[in-house]
Amino acid sequence: MDLRKRKANELTLVVLISADLSSWFIVLFMDKRYALNYSLIWMFIMTVQIMSKVFFGVWVYKLYKEAYTDILTGLYNRRYFYKRLPNAIMKIPFSLLLIDIDNFKSINDTYGHVVGDFVLRQFADILRSKARKDDIIARWGGEEFVMALPQTGVDEAFHIADAIRRAVEGHYFCCEGVTCNITVSIGIASIDERADIDDIEQFFVTADKALYKAKENKNYITVAKM
């Protein structure tokens, strides 16, 4: 379910509930004006219908969140990212950031997984703060994250990546009396209007190669054009 389908479903639910509410008030008005005793029965039935639709609407939304959201960070997961990517990649120029926390294993080994999980959640907040309206952020797996940047050329993508790198470098991650610092390495794959975009997977291959080079230095950004 992409964002447009989700909004359409939410709008449908609102329309259905609004129709039931309208009918409910009409019956209430008729009951008072014409003293129709049987209207109480219809009011009860419609009240049950409204409550049922609200319940199932919340239930469906919860299922949607569980299917497409990373439970730890609250970011989108890989499944959702893959669903959104084909549309995003058409908005060229397009750039992809592959972001990895440097030496994250040492944080878990030194301070424990509770602190490690807290670092991941705070890092996700930093990514959100640097993202724009149409950017898509997802947890790719472990300590690796990905950002899709529609209508973003390589220079602007580097500017965004560097803002993330500097924000992380200057942030103190504090949890249960433990304070630690982290850095990130970022690989960028970018495409412009003249390039061929048939193979989406090639983006990840290119970004991953750039990330591998960035991690040779740590706290570094490497750019690769498609």
- The strand pair at 221-225 and 184-191 is best described as parallel
Look at residue 154 and give its three-state secondary structure: helix
Instruction: Find all residues with CB under 8 Å of 180, minimum gap 6, and list them.
Output: 107, 111, 115, 119, 172, 173
To which H or E segment does residue 101 belong?
strand 94-101
Structure tokens at 219: 């706290």
- Return the beta strands (E) in the chain as ranges: 94-101, 136-141, 144-149, 173-175, 178-180, 184-191, 221-225
Residues annotated as catalytic are: 143
**Longest Cα–Cα distance in the chain:** 82
| Size of the chain, expressed as the number of residues it contains | 226
